[in-house]
Amino acid sequence: MKPYREMSREELKAEEEKLRKEYRKYQAMELHLDMSRGKPCKEQLDLSMGMMDVLDSNADLCCEDGTDCRNYGVLSGIHEAKVLIGDMMENNPDNIIIYGNSSLNVMYDTVSRAYTHGIMGNTPWCRLDKIKFLCPVPGYDRHFGITEYFGIEMIPVPMSPTGPDMDMVENLVSEDPSIKGIWCVPKYANPTGYSYSDETVRRFARLKPAAPDFRIFWDNAYGIHHLYDDRQDYLIEILAECKRAGNPDMVYKFASTSKITFPGSGIAALATSPNNMEDILAQMKVQTIGHDKVNQLRHVRFFKDIHGMTEHMRKQADIIRPKFEAVEQILDENLTGLDIGTWTKPLGGYFISFDSLPGCAKSIVAHAKKAGVVMTGAGATWPYHKDPNDSNIRIAPTYPPMEDLIKAAQLFSLCVKLVSVEKLLGEERTAE
Ligand code: PMP
């Protein structure tokens, strides 16, 4: 089929008629499908059921150093968990703090502590007139939710397949001392699936921020979440690169096992420099006597080491790879050549990012909803939910069963076509 823009008014009208008929058929199916959030599906969760067996009432709950995990203590996490998570994050166990069940929680706490008490002796952000964060877009809605909650002004920075626009990042960060941070998902980003290039990571490590308390919030949520064995993205390790570049304290690196074992019941971690660790632990010791060591031990006993975790992630990939491929195939079959949208084809992570014609995303999501398919709200991938082009839509293929996913992706493609035709006909009408 030829691009919609090259069709005559009559051809577009005929296409609209055909698409409307098809859409009505979907409406009659009374679907209730959900492609909105990046959650693992049941089969993925089932892979971790062995975690329930490794600790029972006969289990020895002592760590290698003799610490009884049933009791209070060990503020920064048990050593064997630091080793496992250190391998997962590609960091030295000495640079790691193990937390509770959520890395988002750690990110919130990190912003909150900077806000109320300041970073390493710097003025608390709450005492400053204006605080700003750079936000690569499209990005993760919950990152933007944290900075919005603290009244931090968010500045969008365009993403490309190699990472954020680094000219813009370098200029802004070096000129404006009110810019205190940047949200990054460096690998298999949410929602694009893009991974930062070597050059991008090197330029990040060599930033010359005007603010001494500027920090890179490096959310490595998808560090080992590859879809393929033979095609994987590799990144330069940011902590080591910052150290090499003479900026050892500039980064907080976050990760968790949420999408490795059980979201909400995994373990989260932060890797950072000794100076930052000291700063953080001084607050943490007031906040808690220690996190859930039994869960830390459970994870270590289940995986044994990083090889166990890598093997486990292969099984996860075997479950979700066909889902990504099914969505990509459906988008290809339905939309290629029409020039009404582009989408990413990630090698890992949890999302596909779709860009429609400008001004169509909200309507596409609304049309899908009316026919029973819930997508992530259009605009969610931008700070303040404001996508200036109204074009980005996040597709989350992992959670629905395959059969539902196929229906949902087909309906989504149909909605993209229908809304695009309506837009083009509308444009013609106003031009007349
Ligand atoms: N960061 C990113 C980029 C995510 O996509 C998610 C989950 N969707 C999280 C963090 C949340 O992680 P956690 O469960 O560890 O809070």
Q: SS in 3 state form for the chain?
A: CCCHHHCCHHHHHHHHHHHHHHHHHHHHCCCCEEECCCCCCHHHHHCCCCHHHHCCCCCCCECCCCCECCCCCCCCCCHHHHHHHHHHHCCCHHHEEECCCCHHHHHHHHHHHHHHHCCCCCCCHHHCCCCEEEEEECCCHHHHHHHHHCCCEEEEEEEECCEECHHHHHHHHHHCCCEEEEEECCCCCCCCCCCCCHHHHHHHHCCCCCCCCCEEEEECCCCCCECCCCCCCCCCCHHHHHHHCCCCCCEEEEEECCCCCCCCCCCEEEECCHHHHHHHHHHHHHHCCCCCHHHHHHHHHHHCCHHHHHHHHHHHHHHHHHHHHHHHHHHHHHHCCCCCEEECCCCECCCEEEEECCCCHHHHHHHHHHCCEEECCCCCCCHHHCCCCCCEEEECCCCCCHHHHHHHHHHHHHHHHHHHHHHHHHHHHHHC
**Across 30-39, 143-152, 384-393, least confident range:** 30-39
Count of structural domains, the chain: 2
Structural domain includes residue 59: no
Structural domain includes residue 191: yes
The predicted pLDDT at position 12 comes to 95
pLDDT, average across residues 264-283: 98
For the CA of 185, the closest atom of ligand 1 is 3
Cα(221) to centroid(ligand 1), Å? 6
Mean pLDDT of the chain: 96
The predicted pLDDT at position 431 comes to 59
The domain in which residue 103 lies consists of 64-303
- Look at residues 303, 328, 349 and tell me which one is the last residue of a structural domain: 303
- Residue 340's CATH number: 3.90.1150.10
Choice from 187, 256, 395 to test ligand 1 binding pocket (greatest atom count within 8 A of CB): 256
Q: Same domain for 388 and 273?
A: no
pLDDT, average across residues 63-71: 96
- pLDDT, one tens digit per residue, over 88-114 is 999 999 999 999 999 999 999 999 999
Choice from 258, 295, 395 to test ligand 1 binding pocket (greatest atom count within 8 A of CB): 258
Q: Same domain for 99 and 40?
A: no
pLDDT, average across residues 191-220: 98
Q: Same domain for 336 and 254?
A: no
pLDDT, average across residues 197-217: 98
On the question of pLDDT at 1 being above 90, the answer is no
- pLDDT, one tens digit per residue, over 237-264 is 999 999 999 999 999 999 999 999 999 9
On the question of pLDDT at 428 being above 80, the answer is no
On the question of pLDDT at 430 being above 70, the answer is no
Structural domain includes residue 58: no
Measuring from each residue's beta carbon to the nearest atom of ligand 1, which residues come in under 6 Å? 38, 102-104, 140, 185, 190, 219, 221, 256, 258, 263, 268
What is the residue with the minimal CA distance to atom 1 of ligand 1?
A: 221
The predicted pLDDT at position 37 comes to 82
Q: Same domain for 362 and 227?
A: no
On the question of pLDDT at 55 being above 90, the answer is yes
pLDDT, average across residues 301-311: 98
- pLDDT, one tens digit per residue, over 322-353 is 999 999 999 999 999 999 999 999 999 999 99
- pLDDT, one tens digit per residue, over 110-146 is 999 999 999 999 999 999 999 999 999 999 999 999 9
On the question of pLDDT at 188 being above 80, the answer is yes
Q: Same domain for 192 and 215?
A: yes
pLDDT, average across residues 272-292: 97
Q: What is the ipTM of this complex?
A: 0.99
- Residue 243's CATH number: 3.40.640.10
On the question of pLDDT at 226 being above 90, the answer is yes
- Look at residues 303, 337, 367 and tell me which one is the last residue of a structural domain: 303
